[in-house]
Amino acid sequence: MTWYGLYNDDVQVARFAVHHSVITAYIPQRVELLPMQICHTGPDGFSAWLRERAIDLNSVQHRNMMNELVGSRDKITLAVRTHMFSISDTFTCFEEGMFTPREKLCRPEDQNTVSDYILVSSDTSLRGLRVATPNASTDGSFTKTWRFERGAWWLYKIQSAAATDAEISISHVLRSIGWDAAEYEHVGRYRRRVKTRSFLRPKEFFEPYDSFRFRFDDPSDDDDAIYRNLASLGAAFETAWKRILLADAVFENTDRHMRNFGVIRSSATGEVLRLAPNFDNNQAYLANPSGSYSGRMLAAYMQHADAQVRSDLKALSDALSGHTYLDPAYRACLPYLAQ
C-alpha cells in the first residue's frame, strides 16, 4: 500500500492510499479547498471522483497513448501515475514526501508533443519522450487534447463539421451580446476540428456541477433543484444560469448534462467565484441528433418566461438577425418578441 498527498496548487488538502489500483483509504484535511464531491466521503466516493477525472479512454488515440507512456489503461493507475494533472483544475497528487509545483510538472512543449500524437494519430512521435503529465482530457464523446498556444491553453476537439459549425456560431453570437461563453475558433482549414481557450484565470479551478451539487441539501439532477441551488448563490449566478438555459432552448442543445456546466472556484480560498461560461454546444442546433431544427424547445421554455428571459431573448434575437446559418433560430424567436 502506498500513501499519496492530494494537493490544490501547493497546499496538501487530503491523503489517500492505493493498493493494487484500489483506493483503500481517504482522509480529507482541508475541506474548504476540496471539490464538494469529496469533502465528506470515503475511499469509494474518492475513487469515483478520481475515475471521472482520469484521462479519456474513449478514443483509440488516447488508449494507445496511455499504453505507450504509462503502460496501463486502468483509470486509477492512470490518474495516479500522471499526478492527476488537468488544465481545467488545480489538483495534483504525489507520493508522500514528494511534491512538484504545477508550473514545473507540465512543460508546454511536452504537452504539445502529446497533442500532436492525438491529433495526427502518429505512432512514432512519442518515442523516447518522458512526459509526467500527458493531459488529454477527461471523458467525453469526442477526441480532445490540450495545446499551449499564444500564451494560453487551448482545448482541441475532433468532431463533425456540423458540430464545429454549431459550436463556433453559437459562441460568436453569445459573446457578441456580452454573455459569458467560451471562445471557439476553427483549426486552420479543418472544419472537423475546433479549439477553445481555457476560461480559467490564475489560481482558479473549474468544478463541474456533477461534483459541486454535493454542497446542497438536494443534490439530485432535478431541473428545479438545480435552478434553486444555483440561484441560492446570488443574483449573478441566477442570471447566468437562466441565459444558459435560454440559449439551450433557442439552439436546441439537449446535451447540458451535469458535467457540461459548473462553477469557477478560487484555489486559494475555495470561494465560489462565478458560474462557468456557456460551453460545449457541439450537439446543438443542426448538430443535434436529429440533424434538423424545430423550435420546440424554445416554445416549451417560453411558456414560463419572466421579464428577464424576454429581455434576454430580444437581445439574442437581435444578434441572430442577418446570420444566415442561424436564421431558423432567429425566426423561431420572433413570435415571442411581440408578446
Give the DSSP letter string of 197-266.
E--PPTTEEEEEHHHHGGGSS--S--HHHHHHHHHTT-HHHHHHHHHHHHHHHHTT-----TTS-EEEEE
**Predicted pLDDT of residue 182:** 97
Residue 142: pLDDT over 80: no
Specify the pLDDT at position 209. Answer: 97
Q: Does residue 227 carry a pLDDT above 60? A: yes
Cβ 194 vs Cβ 156: under 8 Å: yes
193 lies in a domain? no
Grid coordinates belonging to 61 = 488515440
Range 328-338 average pLDDT: 94
The domain boundary residue, chosen from 102, 118, 151: 102
Nine cell digits for residue 145 = 487534447
Boundary of a domain, candidates 72, 102, 132: 102
Domain CATH code at residue 309:
1.10.1070.20
Q: Is residue 277 part of a domain?
A: yes
Q: Residue 304: what pLDDT?
A: 92
- Statement: residue 169 has pLDDT above 80: yes
The 8-class DSSP code of residue 33 comes to G
Q: Which of 156, 275, 154 is nearest to 206 (CA)?
A: 275
Average pLDDT over residues 107-126: 73
Whether residue 118 has pLDDT greater than 90: no
For 92-101, 129-138, 263-272, which range has the lowest pLDDT when averaged over its residues? 129-138
Quick check: is 125 in a domain? no
User: Do 96 and 212 fall within a single domain?
Assistant: no
How deeply is 251 buried, as exposed, middle or buried, from its count of CB atoms within 10 A (0-12, 13-18, 19+)?
buried
Q: Any residues with CB less than 8 A from the CB of 280 and at least 6 apart, and which?
A: 167, 182, 255, 260
Parent domain of 26: 1-102
How confident is the model at residue 113, as a pLDDT? 82
Domain count for the chain: 2
**Mean pLDDT in residue range 14-35:** 97
Decide if 301 is inside a domain: yes
Residue 160 included in any domain: no
Residue 9 has pLDDT above 70, yes or no: yes
Average confidence (pLDDT) over 20-29: 96
In the listed set 102, 125, 141, which residue is the last one of a domain according to the structure? 102
Q: Is the pLDDT of residue 312 over 70?
A: yes
Q: Are residues 333 and 214 in the same domain?
A: yes
Dihedral of the alpha carbons of 209, 215, 221, 222, in degrees to the nearest 10? -120
Statement: residue 96 has pLDDT above 80 = yes
Assess whether pLDDT exceeds 70 at residue 71: no
The 10 Å Cβ neighbour count of residue 52 is 16
My answer on whether 207 and 88 are in the same domain is: no
**Angle subtended at Cα 159 by Cα 157 and Cα 160, rounded to the nearest 5 degrees:** 155
What is the number of alpha carbons within 13 Å of residue 86 lying toward its C-beta? 25
Q: Would you say residue 141 lies in a domain?
A: no
Does residue 88 lie within any of the structural domains? yes
pLDDT number for residue 135:
58
Answer whether residue 129 shows pLDDT above 80: no
